[in-house]
Each structure stands twice: as C-alpha cells, then as structure tokens.
C-alpha cells in the first residue's frame, strides 16, 4: 500500500 505525502513535507511556508 502507498501513503500520500503532503507538500509541507518538502516546501516550507513563506
């Protein structure tokens, strides 16, 4: 099974 990652795991908040 796959787990969907979120963008916040890669990009920081500006």
Partner 1 sequence: MLELRLVQGSLLKKVIEAIKDLVTDANFDCSATGLSLQAMDSSHVALVALLLRSEGFEHYRCDRNISMGMNLNNMSKMLKCAGNDDIITIKGDDGGDTITFMFESPNQDKISDFEMKLMDIDSEHLGIPEAEYHAIVKMPSSEFSRICKDLSSIGDTVVISVTKEGVKFTTRGDIGTANIVCRQNKTIDKPDEATIIEMNEPVSLTFALRYLNSFTKATSLSESVTISLSSDLPVVIEYKIADMGYIRFYLAPKIED
User: For partner 1, what does the binding mask look like between residues 1 and 14, x meaning CB under 8 A?
Assistant: xxxxxxxxxxxxxx
Place of tokens 């916040």: 8
**Minimum distance from residue 14 beta carbon to partner 1 (Å):** 4
**Minimum distance from residue 8 beta carbon to partner 1 (Å):** 6
Place of tokens 């890669």: 10
C-beta neighbour count of 4 within 10 angstroms: 4
**Minimum distance from residue 13 beta carbon to partner 1 (Å):** 6
Binding site for partner 1 (CB under 8 A): 1-14
């Amino acid at each position: 099974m796959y787990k969907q990652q979120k963008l916040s795991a890669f990009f920081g908040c500006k």
